[in-house]
Amino acid sequence: MEKQHYLKLIDEELAQAPWFVQEYYQAKSTIPLSPATLYQYLTEFRRFFNWLISEGLTTATQPTEISLDLLAHLKKETVELYKSALLNQTKLTGARGSRSHPTINRSLNALSSLFKYLTEDTEDEHGEAYFDRNVMHKIALVRTNETYATRAANLKTKLMLGNTDHDYLDFIDHKYEQGLTPAQRRYFKRDKRRDLAINALLLGSGLRVSEAANADLRQLNLKTATIGVVRKGGQRDTVPIAPWTMPYIQAYVEQRPTLYHATASDRALFLTIYRGQASRMQANSIEKMVAKYSSAFKVRITPHKLRHTLASKLYLATKNEQLVATQLGQNSTTATGLYTHMIDDEQRKGLKKL
Distance CA 278, CA 218 (A): 16
Distance CA 336, CA 315 (A): 9
The alpha-carbon radius of gyration of the chain (Å, integer) is 23
Per-residue pLDDT of the chain (354 residues; tens, 9 = 90+): 567 788 899 999 999 999 999 999 999 887 767 788 899 999 999 999 999 999 999 999 999 999 999 999 999 999 999 988 888 754 443 444 445 677 888 899 999 999 999 999 999 888 999 999 999 999 988 876 666 566 666 666 678 888 999 999 999 999 999 989 999 999 999 999 999 999 999 999 999 999 999 999 999 999 999 999 998 767 899 999 999 999 999 999 999 999 999 999 999 999 999 888 899 999 889 999 999 999 999 888 899 899 989 988 998 888 888 899 999 998 776 666 666 666 555 555 655 665
In 206-302, alpha helices (H): 209-214, 246-260, 283-297
Beta carbons of 128 and 120 less than 8 angstroms apart: no
One-letter amino acid for residue 339 of the chain: Y
CA–CA distance from 184 to each of 178, 190, 202, 272, 325 (Å)? 11, 10, 24, 16, 39
User: Domains, the chain, ranges and CATH?
Assistant: 2-145 (no CATH), 153-345 (1.10.443.10)
Beta bridge partners of 238: 228
| Closest to 270 (Cα-Cα) out of 200, 327, 171 | 200
Q: Kindly give the pairing relationship between strand 277-280 and strand 271-274.
A: antiparallel
pTM of the model: 0.66
Beta bridge partners of 221: 226
Q: What are phi and psi of 58, to 5 degrees?
A: -150, 155
Q: Is the dihedral of CA 12, 18, 24, 26 positive or negative?
A: positive
User: Quick check: bond before 257 cis, omega within 30?
Assistant: no
